[in-house]
Structure 1
Amino acid sequence: MNKKYASIDVGTNSIRCLLAELEDGKLTKAEKTLEMTRIGEGVNATKMLQSERILSSTNAIKKFVDEAKSFRAEDIFIMATSAVRDAENRAVFLNAVKAATGYDIDVISGTQEADIGFKGVMAGAISPEQTKLVVDIGGGSTEFIIGNAKGILFSKSIDIGAVRMTNMFGSDYRALSSYVDEKLKLVIERVAVEKTFDLVGIGGTATTFLTMLKKIECYRREWVHNQTITRSEIEALSEALHRMPLEDKKKQVGLDPKRADIIDAGGVILSRIMNLIHAEQMTISDYDNLEGYLFYRLDALKI
């Protein structure tokens, strides 16, 4: 018997919703939608969520909850990550969402975020037995997870997301690169222990570089999931973006105009990671923390 659920992810840059249909515990249908509300704007500097961002994000969540109810979801699971986690006034936002929707938001830790992302990747992996390094470049943080079908071997969350780095460094890409390299030292040392692994990218930066490179105007899971991009392609595109005025970036095929002002930072983070671990290519997974959080919650409920 098929069962329907919804999973909502409140990220630093965007809020995403998964409407999923499961049969015997396996995903049979999935539809993802997104609203870019950038709730994490300025949080790195002030540790506070801005009132207008709280309002727009609450409205986006309410819209997704209403859509999930129309979908006849049996349950709706909502999580929040880096920005809400870091904000001193997060209770204001959590209470606003509760009042608007009747649902609580689960503010997950960086470790949980990494584990949930890995769980999602494994649900859509072609070769789950092969060790993988999963990299999730978000708006506020980047998660690194090493593991395989037997479980997670290592996970680490580092505060180097695309929104956070844009707010800190602007277009000073040299300073940004140096900062990222310093932050990555511990991860690089651990990755060096693994002799062979598949590099898998999830999240907006990784999927956007693929859609730009493949000239994908209308995002579809089957055009993105398990596709590969090379380090040289990423570096060349990243360099080209650095030279573009913002208005030209907004016209780039495959790049959501609302992501145009943070894509440079995302590209620097992605390029530095691939350089430092000597990876020549990355596989993109459309299965990510939305699927991971759904299965995480269902496991907890033993459904």
Structure 2
Amino acid sequence: MIPNKAAIIDMGTNTFHLLLVELYENRFETIYKEKSPVKIGQGGISNNMIHPDAEKRAFYTLQHFKNLIDGEGITNIFAFATSAVRNADNGAEFVEKIREKFKIYVNVIDGEEEAQLIFEGIRLSGALNDQTSLMMDIGGGSVEFIIGNQQQAFWRKSFEIGGQRMLDLFHYHDPILPEEVENLTVYLSEKLQPLAEAIQHYQPTGLVGASGTFDTLSDIYYASLHQTKQRTEQVFQLPREEFEIIARKLLTLNKEERLKIPGMIAMRVDMIVVASCLIEYILKLLPVNILICSNYALKEGVIARLMGKDSLATVESR
């Protein structure tokens, strides 16, 4: 059977991802993948705008992605935009410009759909079992939470409290000040009240973090052990105690010092502080000793749908 090739573009608030794959009936093979710190939310997310500089970075990256897609002869392109675009007053105009410039049709998805795709991606990674887990994906604009197991998601919700938003609201000093952490924690307890109620109701006993911040935290942990992750693995464990050591360290270092931490990457260095504060807050609500880190998230959820391994509708394409 000749596989279908597909390109998935995940236009996140902080990072744009490109994934080129060959799709088979029960598996997929990655041809190429790349991520770029476009930071489309920078300079405008708090005003519900895509800043002209952010638009320039986005177009530069999309041109590069389109060249790679065309080079592989791929015509099936599935592009998704999330929090920064769906909340921007000029988001529809931005998407129309992309269609005109690159012939790429961008599907702007709502928070619930984003959470569902993340769930399907995590499930494809093999990170779930029969136990009920809380899943989370910390984006630049929004954070998605899902409660479920490998069979189904019982509850899912998106909160517009992503890393760029938390940075803009609370992280004024570097290193972050204790009172800024305190103000952030108060903010989280207010915003995440529906999550606290859902945790109480469903009683999850595991925590699974998807990509982004969790990839970097587990990279830092592996580097501290002088180990490297195996490329064939998609799921990694980060002991809670080790996470807490890393998180405490991040609070005391400035950007330059954080960049020197083995395993740290430049595109995560700003948001990782507030993201770690969020994880710390979530851990107070859950009885877990190990954080499970899934390499797969939204874009792999799209692949799960393309292979028919989803529990909902198929992906839109034009």
| TM-score normalised over the length of structure 1 | 0.91
Separation (CA, whole Å) in 2 of partners of 1:220 and 1:99? 41
Q: 1:184 to 1:223 in 2, by over 3 A?
A: farther
Q: Which amino acid aligns with 1:199?
A: L
Bigger mean CA deviation after superposition, 188-197 or 1-10:
188-197
Q: Pairwise mapping of residues 1-303 of structure 1 onto structure 2 (< 5 A)?
A: 1=1, 2-29=3-30, 31-125=32-126, 127-170=128-171, 171=176, 172-215=180-223, 222=231, 225-296=234-305, 299=308, 300=314
Q: Deviations over 1:64-85 (max 9, x none)?
A: 1221222233411000001111
What SS class does the counterpart of residue 57 from structure 1 fall into? helix
Bigger mean CA deviation after superposition, 144-153 or 258-267:
144-153
Separation (CA, whole Å) in 2 of partners of 1:240 and 1:233? 11
Q: Which amino acid aligns with 2:184?
A: L
Bigger mean CA deviation after superposition, 40-49 or 167-176:
40-49
- State whether residues 131 and 149 of structure 2, in contact with CA within 8 Å, keep that contact through their aligned partners in structure 1: yes
The CA RMSD measured in Å over matched residues stands at: 2.4
What SS class does the counterpart of residue 255 from structure 1 fall into? coil
Q: Report how far residue 128 of structure 1 moved.
A: 4.3
Q: Report how far residue 223 of structure 1 moved.
A: 7.1
- State whether residues 115 and 156 of structure 2, in contact with CA within 8 Å, keep that contact through their aligned partners in structure 1: yes
Bigger mean CA deviation after superposition, 188-197 or 233-242:
188-197
Q: Deviations over 1:157-186 (max 9, x none)?
A: 112211110111013111112211222221
Bigger mean CA deviation after superposition, 9-18 or 177-186:
177-186
- State whether residues 221 and 286 of structure 1, in contact with CA within 8 Å, keep that contact through their aligned partners in structure 2: no
Q: Which amino acid aligns with 2:27?
A: K
Separation (CA, whole Å) in 2 of partners of 1:260 and 1:196? 30
**How many residues are matched?**
303
Q: 1:223 to 1:211 in 2, by over 3 A?
A: farther
Q: Deviations over 1:10-30 (max 9, x none)?
A: 111010111112211422336
Q: Deviations over 1:126-183 (max 9, x none)?
A: 5544433211111111101112343221001112211110111013111112211222
- State whether residues 117 and 289 of structure 1, in contact with CA within 8 Å, keep that contact through their aligned partners in structure 2: yes
Equivalent position of 2:311 in the other structure? none
Separation (CA, whole Å) in 1 of partners of 2:315 and 2:166? 37
Q: Report how far residue 91 of structure 1 moved.
A: 2.3
Q: 1:43 to 1:34 in 2, by over 3 A?
A: same
Q: Deviations over 1:80-110 (max 9, x none)?
A: 0011111001123212211221011111000
Q: Report how far residue 189 of structure 1 moved.
A: 1.8
Q: Unmatched 5+ residue regions in structure 1?
A: none
Q: Report how far residue 221 of structure 1 moved.
A: 6.5
- State whether residues 38 and 54 of structure 2, in contact with CA within 8 Å, keep that contact through their aligned partners in structure 1: yes
Q: Which amino acid aligns with 1:258?
A: M
Q: 1:35 to 1:225 in 2, by over 3 A?
A: same
Q: Unmatched 5+ residue regions in structure 2?
A: 309-313
Q: Deviations over 1:195-247 (max 9, x none)?
A: 45432110311111111121299996637621111222222211111111211
What SS class does the counterpart of residue 155 from structure 2 fall into? strand
Q: Which amino acid aligns with 1:242?
A: L
Separation (CA, whole Å) in 2 of partners of 1:119 and 1:32? 19
